[in-house]
């Protein structure tokens, strides 16, 4: 079993400031997911592209829990680096999913994939996400669906990329949720709102179909565009606040 110390044994002592910031952001993403209750033992995965080395990305070693991830113990892999991921004890499904998306989408720098109970429930919902709430309208005509193919393997990459398309949000049928964004802050924020929308939908559906009021059709795209217009401002405001939160909870993610 790989220890925290062993995961960094072969890493060069000096890394660029760009890579260090990517490491901090990726580690913070893991800690936020764990704090939100989105982690599942050692499973699920988050990746972060390294800005000044765009053909490389960071991902956690398989046997670490999310609350053990720090800037220094993340594995660094090249896109398409099959032999490298095997040598660094990285989850094979995680490598398959993240490497494929980051290689196909140069606009994406952070990918978060989780298996929450609500996320798995909506993934098996035949109607998927419905336009019930303002949170759900953030994803109106802006979310993809990927059919279940079992545990992700390398040959599933092209289908994942196809079904994600130009979207950021993807529901993996009978599986879970995925968010692919320009920054870690955007990925975490949008997952938060997606899960809020999903939980609200499931709660309301439990009351019965006759109790459900969908958003007016002529307001759905209007609200989605309102969400779009504020994305840059939200990203600039939310991520520093989330980092301050994680610093208060446990600043060891920066180590």
pLDDT tens, residue by residue, 170-192: 999 999 999 999 999 999 999 99
When comparing pLDDT for 38 and 82, which is higher? 38
Q: Where are the domains of the chain?
A: 17-246
- CA-CA distance, 71 to 95, in Å (whole number)? 19
Residue 205 and residue 127 in contact, taking contact as beta carbons nearer than 8 Å: no
Q: Quote the strand ranges of the chain, DSSP E.
A: 45-50, 53-59, 75-78, 110-114, 143-146, 169-172, 176-181
Residue 181 and residue 110 in contact, taking contact as beta carbons nearer than 8 Å: yes
When comparing pLDDT for 235 and 116, which is higher? 116
Q: Which CATH number fits domain 17-246: 3.40.225.10, 3.30.70.360, 3.40.30.10, 2.170.150.20?
A: 3.40.225.10
Which pLDDT does position 13 carry in this prediction? 52
The string of pLDDT tens digits covering residues 94-103 is: 888 999 999 9
Residue 4 and residue 27 in contact, taking contact as beta carbons nearer than 8 Å: no
**Strand arrangement of the beta sheet that strand 53-59 belongs to:** 75-78, 53-59, 45-50, 110-114, 176-181, 169-172, 143-146
The string of pLDDT tens digits covering residues 198-240 is: 999 999 999 887 889 999 999 999 999 999 998 878 878 999 9
To the question of pTM greater than 0.75 for the whole model, the response is: yes
DSSP symbols for 13-71: S---HHHHHHHHHHHHHHHHHHHHT--BTTB-EEEEEETTEEEEEEE--TT--GGG--G
In this prediction, residue 92 has a pLDDT band, given cuts at 50, 70 and 90, of confident
């Amino acid at each position: 079993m790989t220890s925290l110390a062993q995961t960094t044994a072969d890493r060069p002592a000096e890394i660029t400031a760009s890579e260090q910031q990517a490491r901090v952001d990726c580690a913070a993403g893991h800690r936020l997911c764990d704090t939100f209750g989105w982690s599942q033992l050692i499973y699920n995965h988050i990746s972060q592209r390294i800005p000044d080395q765009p053909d490389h990305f960071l991902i956690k070693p398989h046997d670490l829990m999310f609350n053990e991830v720090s800037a220094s113990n993340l594995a660094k892999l090249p896109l398409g680096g099959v032999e490298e991921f095997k040598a660094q004890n990285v989850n094979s499904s995680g490598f398959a999913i993240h490497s494929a998306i980051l290689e196909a989408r140069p606009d994406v720098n952070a990918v978060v994939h989780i298996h929450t109970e609500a996320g798995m429930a909506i993934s098996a919902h035949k109607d998927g996400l419905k336009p019930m709430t303002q949170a759900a309208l953030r994803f109106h005509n802006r979310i993809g669906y990927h059919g279940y193919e079992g545990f992700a393997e390398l040959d599933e990459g092209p289908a994942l990329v196809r079904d994600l398309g130009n979207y950021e949000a993807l529901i993996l049928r009978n599986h879970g949720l995925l968010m692919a964004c320009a920054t870690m802050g955007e990925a975490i924020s949008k997952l938060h709102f997606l899960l809020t929308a999903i939980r609200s939908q499931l709660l309301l559906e439990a009351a019965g179909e006759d109790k459900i009021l969908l958003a007016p059709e002529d307001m759905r795209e209007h609200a989605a565009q309102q969400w779009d217009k504020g994305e840059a401002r939200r990203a600039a405001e939310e991520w520093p606040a989330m980092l301050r939160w994680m610093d208060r909870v446990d600043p060891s993610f920066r180590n």
